[in-house]
Amino acid sequence: MSLRHVLLGLLSENSGHGYGLRKQMVHRLGHFRNINEGQLYTQLAKMENEGLIEREVVVPDKGPARKLLHITSKGKQTFRDWLRSDQHENDGVLYDFMQGYSFFAKVNFFQHLGPEETRQKIRSQLSLMEERKKAYQEILSQMEQREADPFRTRILAFGLKEVEHRIEWLNELEGDLSRHPKEATQG
Protein backbone atom coordinates (compact mmCIF):
# COMPACT_ATOMS: atom_id res chain seq x y z
CA MET A 1 0.00 0.00 0.00
CA SER A 2 1.28 3.43 -0.86
CA LEU A 3 1.50 6.02 1.91
CA ARG A 4 1.77 8.84 -0.61
CA HIS A 5 -1.41 7.82 -2.43
CA VAL A 6 -3.38 7.29 0.77
CA LEU A 7 -2.36 10.79 1.88
CA LEU A 8 -3.45 12.19 -1.47
CA GLY A 9 -6.77 10.36 -1.14
CA LEU A 10 -7.40 11.77 2.32
CA LEU A 11 -6.44 15.28 1.21
CA SER A 12 -8.70 14.97 -1.84
CA GLU A 13 -11.62 14.61 0.58
CA ASN A 14 -10.59 17.36 3.01
CA SER A 15 -7.63 19.62 3.62
CA GLY A 16 -5.84 18.76 6.82
CA HIS A 17 -2.73 18.87 8.93
CA GLY A 18 -0.22 16.11 9.67
CA TYR A 19 -1.63 15.04 13.02
CA GLY A 20 -5.18 14.88 11.67
CA LEU A 21 -4.05 12.88 8.64
CA ARG A 22 -2.29 10.37 10.88
CA LYS A 23 -5.43 9.99 13.01
CA GLN A 24 -7.53 9.38 9.88
CA MET A 25 -5.09 6.77 8.59
CA VAL A 26 -5.18 4.88 11.87
CA HIS A 27 -8.96 5.13 12.15
CA ARG A 28 -9.87 4.33 8.56
CA LEU A 29 -6.87 2.36 7.37
CA GLY A 30 -5.44 0.23 10.16
CA HIS A 31 -2.58 -0.78 7.87
CA PHE A 32 -0.85 2.50 8.73
CA ARG A 33 -1.21 2.33 12.51
CA ASN A 34 2.53 1.78 12.95
CA ILE A 35 3.65 4.76 10.89
CA ASN A 36 5.71 7.20 12.88
CA GLU A 37 5.63 10.97 12.61
CA GLY A 38 9.05 11.07 10.97
CA GLN A 39 7.85 8.88 8.09
CA LEU A 40 4.65 10.88 7.73
CA TYR A 41 6.25 14.32 7.72
CA THR A 42 9.10 13.20 5.45
CA GLN A 43 6.54 11.93 2.94
CA LEU A 44 4.48 15.13 3.18
CA ALA A 45 7.62 17.24 2.56
CA LYS A 46 8.47 15.15 -0.53
CA MET A 47 4.93 15.52 -1.82
CA GLU A 48 5.08 19.27 -1.30
CA ASN A 49 8.41 19.48 -3.16
CA GLU A 50 6.87 17.51 -6.04
CA GLY A 51 3.92 19.90 -6.22
CA LEU A 52 1.35 17.29 -5.19
CA ILE A 53 0.28 19.23 -2.11
CA GLU A 54 0.66 22.75 -0.86
CA ARG A 55 0.89 24.16 2.62
CA GLU A 56 -1.09 27.12 3.95
CA VAL A 57 -0.22 28.71 7.27
CA VAL A 58 -3.42 29.56 9.14
CA VAL A 59 -3.18 31.90 12.11
CA PRO A 60 -6.19 31.52 14.41
CA ASP A 61 -7.41 34.19 16.85
CA LYS A 62 -6.11 32.04 19.69
CA GLY A 63 -3.36 29.47 19.76
CA PRO A 64 -0.40 28.77 17.51
CA ALA A 65 -0.35 28.96 13.74
CA ARG A 66 -1.29 25.74 11.97
CA LYS A 67 -0.04 24.37 8.68
CA LEU A 68 -3.02 23.29 6.64
CA LEU A 69 -2.28 20.96 3.72
CA HIS A 70 -4.22 21.04 0.45
CA ILE A 71 -4.03 18.74 -2.54
CA THR A 72 -3.04 20.47 -5.80
CA SER A 73 -4.47 19.72 -9.24
CA LYS A 74 -1.29 17.75 -9.98
CA GLY A 75 -1.85 15.80 -6.76
CA LYS A 76 -5.47 15.08 -7.73
CA GLN A 77 -4.36 13.78 -11.13
CA THR A 78 -1.60 11.64 -9.56
CA PHE A 79 -4.14 10.21 -7.11
CA ARG A 80 -6.69 9.45 -9.85
CA ASP A 81 -4.01 7.83 -12.02
CA TRP A 82 -2.99 5.60 -9.12
CA LEU A 83 -6.61 4.78 -8.27
CA ARG A 84 -7.31 3.70 -11.86
CA SER A 85 -4.07 1.69 -12.16
CA ASP A 86 -3.42 -1.83 -10.94
CA GLN A 87 -0.45 -0.65 -8.88
CA HIS A 88 -0.45 -1.93 -5.26
CA GLU A 89 -3.27 -4.41 -5.88
CA ASN A 90 -1.41 -7.71 -6.00
CA ASP A 91 1.34 -8.45 -3.53
CA GLY A 92 1.66 -12.05 -4.65
CA VAL A 93 1.19 -15.16 -2.59
CA LEU A 94 3.10 -14.62 0.58
CA TYR A 95 1.92 -15.50 4.01
CA ASP A 96 0.67 -11.92 4.29
CA PHE A 97 -2.57 -13.10 5.90
CA MET A 98 -0.48 -13.79 9.01
CA GLN A 99 0.35 -10.09 9.34
CA GLY A 100 -3.27 -9.28 10.02
CA TYR A 101 -3.54 -11.68 12.95
CA SER A 102 -0.59 -11.63 15.33
CA PHE A 103 -2.00 -14.59 17.29
CA PHE A 104 -0.72 -16.84 14.47
CA ALA A 105 2.83 -16.18 15.65
CA LYS A 106 2.05 -17.85 18.97
CA VAL A 107 0.09 -20.71 17.37
CA ASN A 108 3.26 -21.60 15.48
CA PHE A 109 4.85 -22.46 18.83
CA PHE A 110 1.96 -24.08 20.69
CA GLN A 111 3.83 -27.39 20.66
CA HIS A 112 5.84 -25.92 23.56
CA LEU A 113 2.72 -25.65 25.75
CA GLY A 114 0.72 -28.38 27.40
CA PRO A 115 -2.78 -29.19 26.15
CA GLU A 116 -4.56 -27.27 28.92
CA GLU A 117 -2.40 -24.15 28.46
CA THR A 118 -3.07 -24.31 24.72
CA ARG A 119 -6.80 -24.69 25.33
CA GLN A 120 -6.76 -21.65 27.62
CA LYS A 121 -4.97 -19.58 24.97
CA ILE A 122 -7.49 -20.61 22.32
CA ARG A 123 -10.47 -19.88 24.59
CA SER A 124 -9.04 -16.50 25.53
CA GLN A 125 -8.64 -15.66 21.86
CA LEU A 126 -12.19 -16.86 21.16
CA SER A 127 -13.47 -14.52 23.84
CA LEU A 128 -11.59 -11.58 22.32
CA MET A 129 -12.92 -12.40 18.85
CA GLU A 130 -16.49 -12.62 20.14
CA GLU A 131 -16.12 -9.16 21.71
CA ARG A 132 -14.71 -7.82 18.45
CA LYS A 133 -17.57 -9.40 16.51
CA LYS A 134 -20.14 -7.63 18.72
CA ALA A 135 -18.33 -4.30 18.30
CA TYR A 136 -18.18 -4.70 14.50
CA GLN A 137 -21.87 -5.61 14.38
CA GLU A 138 -22.77 -2.53 16.40
CA ILE A 139 -20.64 -0.19 14.29
CA LEU A 140 -21.95 -1.73 11.08
CA SER A 141 -25.52 -1.25 12.24
CA GLN A 142 -24.81 2.40 13.04
CA MET A 143 -23.19 2.93 9.64
CA GLU A 144 -26.17 1.41 7.86
CA GLN A 145 -28.62 3.51 9.91
CA ARG A 146 -26.88 6.75 9.00
CA GLU A 147 -26.44 5.56 5.40
CA ALA A 148 -22.67 5.87 5.49
CA ASP A 149 -20.60 5.51 2.35
CA PRO A 150 -21.50 2.05 0.97
CA PHE A 151 -17.89 1.24 0.09
CA ARG A 152 -16.69 1.91 3.63
CA THR A 153 -19.64 -0.06 4.97
CA ARG A 154 -18.58 -2.99 2.77
CA ILE A 155 -15.04 -2.81 4.16
CA LEU A 156 -16.38 -3.13 7.70
CA ALA A 157 -18.69 -5.97 6.59
CA PHE A 158 -15.57 -7.74 5.28
CA GLY A 159 -13.89 -7.21 8.65
CA LEU A 160 -16.91 -8.75 10.38
CA LYS A 161 -16.77 -11.80 8.11
CA GLU A 162 -13.06 -12.14 8.79
CA VAL A 163 -13.68 -12.11 12.55
CA GLU A 164 -16.44 -14.69 12.12
CA HIS A 165 -14.03 -16.83 10.13
CA ARG A 166 -11.40 -16.50 12.87
CA ILE A 167 -13.99 -17.66 15.41
CA GLU A 168 -14.78 -20.67 13.25
CA TRP A 169 -11.05 -21.41 12.84
CA LEU A 170 -10.40 -21.11 16.59
CA ASN A 171 -13.27 -23.52 17.31
CA GLU A 172 -11.78 -25.97 14.82
CA LEU A 173 -8.35 -25.52 16.43
CA GLU A 174 -9.79 -26.29 19.84
CA GLY A 175 -11.55 -29.32 18.34
CA ASP A 176 -8.23 -30.56 16.94
CA LEU A 177 -6.74 -30.23 20.41
CA SER A 178 -9.58 -32.26 21.92
CA ARG A 179 -9.32 -35.02 19.31
CA HIS A 180 -5.52 -35.25 19.27
CA PRO A 181 -4.12 -33.72 22.47
CA LYS A 182 -0.70 -35.37 22.25
CA GLU A 183 -0.25 -34.63 18.54
CA ALA A 184 -1.53 -31.07 18.73
CA THR A 185 0.93 -30.10 21.46
CA GLN A 186 4.12 -31.96 22.01
CA GLY A 187 6.36 -30.13 24.43
pLDDT tens, N- to C-terminus, the chain (187 residues): 688 998 998 999 899 888 889 888 877 776 677 778 888 899 999 999 999 999 998 888 888 888 899 999 999 999 998 888 877 666 554 555 556 677 887 887 788 888 898 999 999 999 999 999 999 999 999 999 999 999 999 999 999 999 999 999 999 999 998 887 655 445 4
pLDDT at 2: 81
Which whole-number Å values give the CA distances from 151 to 38, 144, 158, in the listed order? 31, 11, 11
CATH T-level topology, domain 3-84 = Arc Repressor Mutant, subunit A (1.10.10)
The DSSP result for 132-149, as a single string, is HHHHHHHHHHHHHHTT--
